[in-house]
A and B are shown apart, each in its own frame.
Chain A
């Protein structure tokens, strides 16, 4: 039995790994093709304002050093070979290896996204359960209206609003950055970091809450209409007892799945939130890379976020299967 389980796990993991590798290869090919056919000339972009000061010989030298004269297929092969060995090239705008930039920048982003993720999950689930149990009443309508309105709100505008209210008017939170300005890296306390984190995280979670609310509400309504709830009620269970014992787990499965599947949206939101709050994370690095014509970094971020979203989806499937045994049985049967 144990061995059987082990082989099944290994086989599942192997299948997932193969899928990830295939996906990465496709993303790498597609994004490299995009970059090659871009009308933006990499040398012009690199030289930028010094264009007049550089002669054609120097341009040719730069192009030769980067291998821009080689045919695209050859360049792609070289690049892919380097990527397979873990070398994503050198970022032009940060003047550091791409892997280092991503490594440094991802941690603050991860802290931000994780906080927002947990907050929006908890709030969204709570509000969804509230709306579902009071279906059709005032609380339900208010929550639904709020969720639909938030779904139409631009993330960066919500960020600007919060920034104005809490940082500019009330002065409770800092205006920018992840750490206090002018303080040595070693002197920054955890409290400082949290203080700088709270507003961007709040922005992200406020915007990300809508889908969880609406799906949880739907799941709660469906669960409340099911036979086992009617049976529990017939046995004299109170509404609260019904919700706690018979509804929560049913409603949690879709919410968890959705929350894990929303990692891509979350990253997109963090790009905008980090721009508003000048938070030095991977999202801000994405913007810098695109504005600074930093092709290696853009390609690196594309690959990295693909892995990020893929892992999120797989984790979602796993947790969903744990919460809902029917799903686990289905996937096992399919395999």
Chain B
């Protein structure tokens, strides 16, 4: 073991494992910071001040102001908080659906397994965004509908991954022996399946966050998402479109850039966590 450790030359920032952990921690800290900062910013985000409308970025307003004189930095922070909360809530529900279906398929097999596979195919048959629009429309719009729509559309890929993994476990020798020993399905699922799926499940959930956040923003941008009065990033960008031709670049560029950075940070957490838990999958 020591021989291996010597081969991996320590860099200025410790070894690779430490570095990965540091990345995860740092990203999580920034994302949490945004969520915390978004709380107090909610008031400032809605305070209008008609004397300073459509101002560019300055020391007083780092991100400029919008058509009603609202501070864009506050609006961006509040919007990021909303996007993160909605996205994360939806992704967690979605991951729950994926886990339930994958376990059902693996434990019961046969007809259940085929039904789950068929359901996954059905949900992947429509373009993702069209399905989202259909669901958001059918659920009547609003923040709750967005959470539900995003939650109901993001589980198929994770279900596939978990189902494949669960199938691997269920076909292994020790599960067969366990069956021979007379253990029931519930016991096998608890004792053998849960441990193997936990890591994949956590990482898969974190990797769902970016998609969920981006899709929430997209729905809000199209006008089918959260209530237009709420400062979501998608709504900020949709509003900015009218003033873009007048040269108000800060309305669109800065909030979008912040969303990009936050999504990338969340993605960093997910892929680094995967690299730690499952080193073989690291290359892609």
Asked if residues B137 and A264 are in contact (CB atoms below 8 Å), the reply is: no
**4 further A-B pairs in the complex, CB-CB below 8 A; given A26-B125, A291-B223:** A40-B140, A151-B210, A268-B127, A305-B126
Query: In the complex, which residues of chain A have a beta carbon less than 8 angstroms from the beta carbon of B222?
Result: 271-272, 275, 287, 290-291
Contact A287 B122 (CB under 8 A): no
Residues in chain B near residue A34, CB distance under 8 A: 134-135, 138
Contacts A39-B140, A152-B267, A272-B218 hold; do A164 and B249 have CB atoms under 8 A apart?
Answer: yes
Which residues on the A side are within 8 Å of B241 (C-beta)?
160, 276
Q: Is the CB of A31 within 8 A of B247?
A: no
Residue of chain A at shortest CB distance from B137: A290
Whether B125 contacts A38 by the Cβ 8 Å rule is: no
Contact, CB under 8 Å: B240 / A309: no
A157 interfacial contact with B, CB 8 Å: yes
CA distance A180 to B260 in the complex (A): 33
Does B129 touch A at the CB level, under 8 Å?
yes
Chain B neighbourhood of A291, CB < 8 A? 222-224
22 contacts between A and B (CB under 8 A): A38-B139, A149-B260, A152-B263, A154-B221, A154-B259, A154-B260, A154-B263, A156-B221, A156-B234, A156-B237, A160-B252, A160-B256, A164-B244, A264-B124, A264-B126, A268-B127, A268-B130, A269-B129, A271-B133, A290-B133, A302-B134, A309-B127
B237 touches A305 (CB 8 A): no
Is B84 at the interface (CB under 8 A from chain A)? Answer: no
Assuming A35-B138, A290-B136, A290-B137, is B130 touching A267 (CB within 8 A)?
A: yes
Contact assessment for A265 and B122 in the assembled complex, using a CB-CB cutoff below 8 Å = no
Chain A residues near B139 (CB-CB < 8 A): 38-39
Contact B221 A275 (CB under 8 A): yes
Does B260 lie within 8 Å of A38, measured CB to CB? no
Query: Is A310 among interface residues, defined by CB-CB distance under 8 A?
Result: yes
Q: Which residues of A contact B217 (CB under 8 A)?
A: 154, 156
**A: interface residue count bin:** 35 or more
Q: Give residues 1-48 of A contacting B (CB, 8 Å).
A: 23, 26-27, 30-31, 34-35, 37-40
Contact with A along B212-224 (1 / 0, CB 8 A): 0010011001111
Residue of A nearest to B119 (CB): A26
Given A152-B267, A160-B241, A267 contacting B129 (CB threshold 8 A): yes
Cβ-based interface call for A301 (8 A):
yes
Determine whether A298 belongs to the interface, using a CB cutoff of 8 Å to chain B.
yes
The smallest C-beta distance from A278 to any residue of chain B, in angstroms, reads 9
CB proximity to B under 8 Å, residues A291-331: 291, 293, 298, 301-302, 305-306, 308-310
Q: Is B277's beta carbon under 8 Å from chain A?
A: no
Complex Cα–Cα for A73 and B139 (A): 20
Contact between A175 and B138, CB atoms less than 8 A apart: no
Chain A residues with CB below 8 A from B284, complex form: 214-215, 218
Q: Is A163 an interface residue (CB 8 A)?
A: yes
Among candidates A26, A149, A164, residue contacting B122 with C-beta atoms closer than 8 Å: A26
A154 to B134, CA, bound (A): 20
Query: Shortest Cβ distance from B94 into chain A, in angstroms?
Result: 17
Give chain A interface residues in 155-184, CB to chain B under 8 Å.
155-157, 160-161, 163-164, 167-168, 175
Q: Is B283 an interface residue (CB 8 A)?
A: yes
**A104 to B244, alpha carbons, bound, how many Å?**
29
Known contacts A161-B253, A164-B244; A271 and B130 CB within 8 A of each other: yes
Q: Does A286 contact B (CB under 8 A)?
A: yes
- Interface size range on B against A: 35 or more
Given contacts A35-B138, A37-B138, A160-B241, contact A306 B125 (CB under 8 A): yes
Chain A hits for B253, CB < 8 A = 160-161, 164
Q: Do A287 and B130 touch (CB < 8 A)? A: no
Decide yes or no whether A148 CB sits under 8 A from chain B: yes
The yes or no answer to B128 lying at the interface (CB within 8 A) is: yes
B245 located at the interface, meaning its Cβ lies under 8 Å from any Cβ of chain A in the complex: yes
Chain B stretch 25-52: residues in CB contact (< 8 A) with chain A: none
Given contacts A148-B267, A291-B223, contact A160 B244 (CB under 8 A): yes
Q: How many angstroms between the C-alpha atoms of A181 and B218 in the bound complex? A: 27
Q: Which chain A residues border B127 with CB–CB below 8 Å?
A: 263-265, 267-268, 305, 308-309
A155 to B129, CA, bound (A): 12
Contact in complex: A160, B237 (CB < 8 Å): yes
B264 at the binding interface (Cβ < 8 Å): yes
Interchain CA distance A34-B138 in the complex, whole Å? 6
Roughly how many angstroms separate A163 CA and B248 CA in the complex, as a whole number?
Answer: 12
Select which of A157, A264, A310 is within 8 A of B256 by beta carbon.
Answer: A157
- Give the distance in Å from the alpha carbon of A57 to the alpha carbon of B133 in the complex: 33
Please indicate the chain A residues that have their CB under 8 angstroms from the CB of B259 in the complex: 154, 157
Q: Do A302 and B130 touch (CB < 8 A)?
A: yes
CB < 8 Å neighbour of A38 from B121, B133, B137: B137
The answer to whether B252 and A161 have CB atoms under 8 Å apart is yes
User: B140 contacts A298, CB within 8 Å?
Assistant: no
Task: Tell me whether A30 and B218 are in contact (CB under 8 A).
Answer: no
With the chains together, A263 CA to B129 CA distance in Å? 12
| Chain A hits for B129, CB < 8 A | 267-269, 271-272
| Chain B residues closer than 8 Å to A290, beta-carbon distance | 133-134, 136-137, 222, 224
Give A23 to B119 CA distance when docked, in angstroms: 11
**Chain B nearest CB: distance from A56 CB in Å?**
23
Given contacts A30-B122, A218-B283, whether A160 and B218 have CB atoms under 8 Å apart is no
Cβ–Cβ < 8 Å partners of A298 in chain B: 133-134, 137
Q: Given that A154-B214, A218-B283 are known contacts, is A305 also in contact with B138, CB under 8 Å in the complex?
A: no
